[in-house]
Amino acid sequence: MRPPPAKLALLGQPVAHSLSPRLMTELGCLARRKAAYRPCTVAPERLAFAVGLLRTAGFVGANVTAPHKISVIAHLDRLTPEARRIGAVNAVKMSRGKLVGHNTDAAGFADALGEAGFSAKGCEALIFGAGGAARAVAFALGRLKAREVSICARRPQRARALARDMAALFPRTAFRSARPAAAELAVNATPLGRFPHDRSPAPASWPGCQLAFDLVYGRRTAFLRQAQGLGAQTIDGTSMLVFQALRSWEFWFGPLGAERRGLWKKRLMRKWTRP
CATH number of 208's domain: 3.40.50.720
Residue at 144: amino acid letter = L
Which domain range does residue 161 map to?
A: 107-236
Tell me, yes or no, whether 140 and 99 share the same domain. no
Within a domain: 167: yes
Contacts of 43 (CB under 8 A, 6+ apart): 13
Catalytic residue positions, numbered: 69
* CA 264 distance to own-chain centroid: 19
How many residues in total does the chain contain? 275
Give the number of domains in the chain: 2
174-209 pLDDT, tens digit per residue, is: 998 766 667 899 999 998 887 667 776 677 667 789
What is the tens place of the pLDDT at every residue in 89-105?
A: 999 999 999 999 999 99
Q: Is the residue at 1 inside a domain?
A: no
Report the phi/psi class of residue 122: left, alpha or beta, with left for phi > 0 and alpha for psi in -120 to 50: left
**Dihedral sign from CA coordinates of 191, 167, 102, 115:** positive
Supply the pTM of this predicted model. Answer: 0.94
Q: What is the pLDDT of residues 13-25, one digit of tens each?
A: 999 989 999 999 9
| Strand pairing category for 173-175 and 124-128 | unpaired
Asked if 220 and 254 sit in the same domain, the reply is no
